[in-house]
Structure 1
């Protein structure tokens, strides 16, 4: 416990968030980028079907990776990291027991993963001075059986948060279309910055039609703005990663500096507004929580007109306009509200330290 007492409580949770954020990015990136491209090729082709299946499976490993990477932030041994990974997966709800067998259902509830990962790390700190060479036995049982069991109990209650948020978002669909689109764009731009799964919420409440197509533009607006804001400080590679869905990598920054979410909420609302006024894209629940590059592929199948016209509309909605109002928003906030983008000493708060 001596080591644990030397760690500040805020630092403890930020280190866990750093590990979880990186796990989300690593696990979701293949599914977000490769799956939409290979889904069509997979039909009737064994090779591409294998690529598609392997890519889709990546997201199911997120809870395990989250536990392992978070434990790595505390310089844990391999046994300790693997043990934390066990507890994280068991508590995630990613696997459910149905009809006598375990079935994978998704990433699970990442908020519960964060809480149980923290509990697992604390438990290991408590016993590591006393177990010695029995660490392999004690750590795996302590985390896998004991803490994991606690996680299955807390999952029910923690998951209520996602259900509650989903019910609020679902109430937006009863509003006037313009107001609905602004609110959906804003909320989903914010959700993508949190451990809460925007995809899971959109699917759970069954967002479809205009309400299904709008969130993707709010999310894409968030991607573009963060890519612009991180460009100079983090380099081209990380900026591109942000635009292609790695915004959760910045989760630690959002927790430390929640004011960063103000311009993100603004561009998200603008993204939703553009869909209501100009594009009127629709989507099914399975794609409602995605931004680009996944959403344009699904939206393409719903559009009417020539191939050139469809591609032009998608380019404007998901690339050109987000770039324009992302740049304008960044310039306006930097000029008139710099406190939302920088620390008091003038250093950008968009510096990423996950990699």
Structure 2
């Protein structure tokens, strides 16, 4: 218990959520980047069909990776890491048991909110029982992780999943009915959230933000990337500019904390991008809505109908041309007109 108390509440959850975000990114990246290619080639032979299958299979590793990575954040031993991973897999809802024929079926990645809940409980319990189990941890940790904590997750899953799906369905439905205000709000919100320690990937997936809502979130995130990339180009090297355009904006956390007004041009960019997207209505899946450029446009492309050239132009317009325009507009509006931000605010000291 004393070891657990070393971590503040914020530190505990920051470590946990960063692990969850990384687990999702690692799991969905194969299907996001090369998945559409293998899916298109799947009908051209068993070789491509197998590649398509294994690429999509990576997405189902989310519960196990969440547990293992989160436990690793706290310096757990191998037996403790795997015990936490057992608990998250069993309690995730990703595996369904059929009493009729005695089979287990992998039905998805599970409910992320329940995964986070069970992971937090498992880590806390491991800390609490560690002084008492000693060398018996190789026996007691897996039993407690699988049977007690995992079993508790099986019980909580239907209720937690009902809440998360209801929230997600509400957001998606409201966005369909009122795309203009909702796309604007989602674009603005996700543009700002990606610039904070919070995970847009985890948030989008947890609540099932998809379709038009998922597209608006992804476009807003991309607007944030390009706004930060343009701003840092004034005072940093080209390598950092490219890194920001490809999503490394969390490198700026120290800057944002010191100068919170820097989030204003980001919010403006995301809001404008979301507003314009309310007319174009790009779509994205829940697993990809929390991504910006380049993962977001790859998945958005698969939702479009029409000729490949037409679809490419739409995606390029929403994920490249539009973000550049709103980046220039919001940055110079805040810097030269309202004098909210300064060039030097965006300097990143890579040697610090």
The TM-score with structure 1 as length reference comes to 0.75
Cα deviation digits, residues 64-112 of structure 1 (max 9, x gap): 1111111111111000000111111222222223464322232222222
Between the aligned partners of 1:26 and 1:53, the Cα distance in structure 2 is 17
Q: 2-side partners of 1:349 and 1:29: how far apart?
A: 27
Query: By how many angstroms is 1:326 displaced?
Result: 3.1
Aligned-pair distance for 1:163? 1.8
Of 239, 242, 247, the match for 1:242 = 247
- How far apart in 1 are the matches of 2:283 and 2:300? 10
1-side partners of 2:105 and 2:228: how far apart?
36
Corresponding residue number in structure 2 for 1:316: 317
- Assess if the C-alpha contact under 8 Å between 1:199 and 1:288 holds in 2: no
Distance 1:121 1:199 in 2: 20
Separation of aligned partners in 2, 1:194 and 1:17: 11
Partner of residue 82, structure 2: 82
Q: Judging changes above 3 Å, is the alpha-carbon distance between structure 1 residues 104 and 182 closer, same or farther for their aligned structure 2 residues? A: same
Partner of 1:18: 18
CA RMSD of aligned residues (A): 4.0
Separation in 2 of the partners of 1:17 and 1:334? Answer: 33
How big is the shift at 1:142?
0.8
Structure 1 contact 169–184 (Cα < 8 Å) conserved: no
State the TM-score, normalizing by the size of structure 2.
Answer: 0.76
Mapping for residues 175-324 of structure 1, pairs under 5 Å: 175=178, 177-186=179-188, 193=200, 195-198=202-205, 201-202=208-209, 207=211, 214=216, 216-222=218-224, 224-225=226-227, 235=240, 239=244, 241-242=246-247, 265-277=267-279, 280-281=280-281, 283=283, 289=289, 292-299=296-303, 301-303=304-306, 308-324=309-325
Structure 2 unmatched ranges of 5 or more: none
Which residue in the other structure is 1:35 paired with? 35
Q: Deviations over 1:96-151 (max 9, x none)?
A: 23464322232222222222111111111111112122111100011111011112
Distance, in Å, in 1 between the alignment partners of 2:330 and 2:205 is 23
Alpha-carbon spacing, 1:193–1:211, altered in 2? closer, same or farther (3 Å): closer
What is the alpha-carbon distance in structure 1 between the residues aligned to residue 52 and residue 203 of structure 2? 25
| 1:96 counterpart SS class | strand
Residue 338 and residue 164 in structure 1: after superposition, are their counterparts in 2 closer, same or farther (change >3 A)?
A: same
Cα distance in 1 between the residues matched to 2:97 and 2:268: 42
Equivalenced residue count is 329
Q: Secondary structure at the match of 2:302?
A: helix
Q: Distance in 2 between matches of 1:195 and 1:119?
A: 18
> Aligned in 2, Cα 1:3/1:349: closer, same or farther, shift over 3 Å?
farther
